[in-house]
Amino acid sequence: MAVTEPVPEGILRRQSARESAARTYARALPIVPVRARGLTIEGADGRRYLDCLSGAGTLALGHNHPVVLEAIRGVLDSGAPLHVLDLATPVKDAFITELFRTLPPGLADHARVQFCGPAGTDAVEAALKLVRSATGRTGVLAFTGAYHGMTAGSLEASGGAYDVRVARLPYPQDYRCPFGVGGARGAELAARWTESVLDDPKSGVRQPAGMILEPVQGEGGVIPAPDAWMRRMRQITADRSIPLIADEVQTGVGRTGAFWAVEHSGVTPDVMVLSKAIGGSLPLAVVVYREDLDVWQPGAHAGTFRGNQLAMAAGTATLAYVREHRLAERAAVLGARMLGRLRDLARDFPCIGDVRGRGLMIGVEMVDPEGACGTGETGGIDAPLADAHTDAGLDTPADGDGVGARAAKPRTEPQSAPVTAPCPAAPALAVAVQRECLRRGLIVELGGRHASVVRLLPPLTITDEQAAAVLDRLADAVAAAAGNHDRGKGRSDHPQPNPLNEPSRPGRPPGRVPRQGGRAERAG
C-alpha cells in the first residue's frame, strides 16, 4: 500500500488530537506501521521493528503470512459473498471442519459451535449466556487476575471488576502467591479454597452457572495454571455439575506449546471460547461447547458480523498450517529455551523479579529489589515452609515444560518448594524497558496485575536467529532501563553484567553486551 504521509509525526499528532483518550497501545508505541511481514513491522519513517506484541497474541503466523494472504485472495477472487450473516458457505464449512479437527477429542465428538460478533469478548458473553441458559443459574465463578474482555459480562468476570453475580477465587501463582507459599502447596490451597466456597452453605456463594478460567492468564501477567490445578478445577466442577469454560482467546492455536492450552493438563472443558489467532489476523470469535448444553432458542445469541468469510478463510489456513507444521511443539521447545535465557538474565538483574510463561507466551516481571521485598502480599505471613512441598495434593507447576517457577529472593529457611518473597512491582521500570525496547527496534507488551510485566508474544514462526535478536534487544533494554533507573535514584553502582550471560558467540568478544541486532534497522 502506498504511504500517503511521508512524515509520521503528522499522523501521530492527528491521532492524539482526534482519537479517544481510551486508546492504549498507541500511547506506548508511537509508530505508524505501513508494511509488515512475519515478525517484522516497518514504520512510515522507514524503521523496522521486531514485533513481539503480535496483535496482542493474534498473529500465530506473524504478519501477512503467505498462506493467509493466499486464502484471503482465494475468497476475493472467487466472487463469493463477503457478508452472509450466519448462512452456510463452503468457506465456513471448511473452517468448522478444520477447527473441529483440532479440538480436544472429548469435545470435538459432541461439539456445537456458535459464531459470535467478531471480538473475543462477545464469545465470552455468549459462553456465560449459554451456561446460564443451560443451568438456569446466574452466578459465575471466576479468578483473581482474569481478563475476559471489555463488554459488561466479560468485565464482570475479569479480575479488576466487582460484581455480585461473580464469585472471585484465587488463581494459583508462585511469585505473588496469595497464601505466601507458591508452588504445589499454593495451588493446593487455592483449590481447597474453591472447594470450600462451593461446599460451605454459608460461604455467600450460590451454586453457579459455570466456572470460567484462562489456562494461562495473559493480561493478568502471564501466569500459567499448574496442570494439576487445572485437573482439580475440572474435577470440582464435574462433581458439582458446573460447566467449565476455558477462555482460550489468547492461549489457543499453539501459543502455549499445545494446540489448545487445556491439552497440557488433559482437561476437556465443557465450553471453549476462541478468538484472536483463529481468524488468522482477521476478526473472528466462536464459542464451542458440548451439544447437550445447546438449549438455546433461535436468536439467543446473534450479531450482524458473524459471517466474516475472509476471516474464516484466513483462520482455516492458519489452523491447518499450525497443525501441519507442528508449530505448537516448536513453541514449546523455543519457549523453554527463551525462558532459560531470560532466567539467566534475571540472575544478573535483581530488578527482574520473575520470569515465567508457557510456550511462546512469556512474561518478565520488573520489580524494585530495594523495596520491601517479602513484606508485600505474601511476605508478612510466616508460612509453614518446611512442608511446603511434601503435603501438597498437587504436583508442582513445573510439571509442564516452560512453566515459570523461579524463586526470586529465597527466604531464609531451607526450602524444598518454590517459595518466593516477591519484591514490590516496578511499573515505571517496565514502561522504561518497553521504551528502551522500542528504541532498539523491539515491540513488547506490558501487562500484569501491577502493569509491571514485560510480555513477549512472538509469532510461532519466529526463527532461532530472530529469537536470539529479540532476547539481545530485550537484554540491552533492561540494562539501559535499570541503569537509568539507578541513576535516577542517584546511584551509579548498578552492575552492568553481560546481558543473558551468554557464552561468546562467533564474532562477538566474550562478555560484551550484545549489540548485534540491537538497534532498529532502517529499511531499504
CB of 78 to ligand PLP, least distance (A): 28
User: In the complex, what is the shortest distance from the CB of residue 256 to ligand PLP, in angstroms, rounded to a whole number?
Assistant: 12
| Interaction between residue 49 and ligand PLP (CB under 6 A) | no
Task: Kindly tell me which of 191 and 272 has the beta carbon lying closer to ligand PLP.
Answer: 272
Nearest approach in angstroms of CB 276 to ligand PLP is: 7
408 close to 367: Cβ distance less than 8 angstroms: yes
Considering only 149, 252, 353, 400, the residue that binds ligand PLP (CB under 6 A) is 149
Least gap, CB of 358 to ligand PLP (angstroms): 14
- Per-residue cell: 399: 510439571
In terms of CB distance, is 434 or 498 closer to ligand PLP? Answer: 434
Coil/strand/helix, residue 363: strand
Q: Are strands 286-290 and 111-115 parallel, antiparallel or unpaired?
A: antiparallel
x/- map, 52-71, ligand PLP, by CB under 6 A: ----x---------------
Our CB check for ligand PLP shows the closer of 149 and 315 to be 149
Q: Binding of ligand PLP at residue 125 (CB under 6 A)?
A: no
Q: How far apart are CA 346 and CA 17, in angstroms?
A: 40
Sign of the torsion angle spanned by Cα atoms 82, 84, 85, 86: negative
Nearest Cα to 339, choosing from 318, 363, 320? 363
* Helix axis angle, 464-488 to 327-348, nearest 10°: 30
Q: Which of 360, 278, 351 is nearest to 320 (CA)?
A: 278
Altogether, the residues listed in the chain come to a count of 524
- Nearest approach in angstroms of CB 233 to ligand PLP is 16
Q: How far is the CB of 170 from ligand PLP (least distance, A)?
A: 18
Determine the Cα–Cα distance for residues 87 and 91; give it in Å rounded to an integer.
11
N-term to C-term CA, the chain = 16
Q: Considering beta carbons, is residue 43 or 221 the nearer one to ligand PLP?
A: 221
Beta bridge partners of residue 446, listed in sequence order: 454
The 472-501 contact track toward ligand PLP, x by CB under 6 A, reads ------------------------------
Position 120 contacts ligand PLP (CB under 6 A): yes
- Beta bridge partners, 41, equal 36, 49
Three-point CA angle 495, 497, 499, nearest 5°? 135
Q: How far apart are CA 446 and CA 453, in angstroms?
A: 5
Give the contact letters, 267-306, x = binds to ligand PLP (CB under 6 A), - = no.
--------x-------------------------------
When the beta carbons of 273 and 477 are compared against ligand PLP, the nearer one is 273
The count of chain residues that interact with ligand PLP, using the rule CB under 6 A, is: 15
Please identify which residue in 107, 119, 346, 432 interacts with ligand PLP, judged by CB under 6 A.
Answer: 119
Stretch that binds ligand PLP, among 46-54, 72-80, 145-153, 262-270 (CB under 6 A): 145-153
User: For residues 191-250, which are near ligand PLP according to CB under 6 A?
Assistant: 214, 218-219, 247, 249-250
Sort residue 506 into left (φ over 0), alpha (ψ -120 to 50) or beta: beta
**Rounded CA gap, 173 and 356, in Å?**
10
DSSP result, 4-24: S-S-HHHHHHHHHHHS-TT--
Stretches 94-102, 143-151, 342-350, 441-449: which one binds ligand PLP (CB under 6 A)?
Answer: 143-151
Residue 251 in grid coordinates: 492461549
**188 versus 247: smaller Cβ distance to ligand PLP:** 247
Min CB(374)–ligand PLP separation in Å? 30
Residue number of the CB closest to ligand PLP reads 120
Residue 148 as a binder of ligand PLP (CB under 6 A): the answer is yes
- Spell out the residues 6+ positions from residue 69 whose beta carbon is closer than 8 angstroms to its own: none
Q: Which residues contact 264 (CB under 8 A, 6 or more apart)?
A: 215, 227, 230, 256, 257, 258, 358, 400
- Measured from the CB atom, the residue of 119 and 293 that comes closer to ligand PLP is 119
Task: Between 209 and 277, name the residue whose CB sits nearer to ligand PLP.
Answer: 277
Distance (Å, whole) CA 180 – CA 383:
6
Single residue of 54, 102, 114, 121 touching ligand PLP by CB under 6 A: 121
- Residue 124 or 366 with smaller CB distance to ligand PLP: 124
Closer to ligand PLP by Cβ: residue 121 or 378: 121
Provide, rounded to whole angstroms, the least separation between the CB of residue 247 and ligand PLP. Answer: 5
124 makes contact with ligand PLP (CB under 6 A): yes
Instruction: Based on the shown chain and the rule CB under 6 A, indicate whether residue 256 belongs to the binding site for ligand PLP.
Output: no
- Restricted to residues 342-381, the positions that interact with ligand PLP (CB under 6 A) are none
Cell of 180: 505466601
Residue 66: strand pairing partners: none
- Give, for 476, the enclosing helix (H) or strand (E): helix 464-488
Choice between 272 and 419, CB closer to ligand PLP:
272
**Residue 107 corresponds to which amino acid?**
L
Contacting residues toward ligand PLP, per CB under 6 A = 56, 119-121, 124, 147-149, 214, 218-219, 247, 249-250, 275
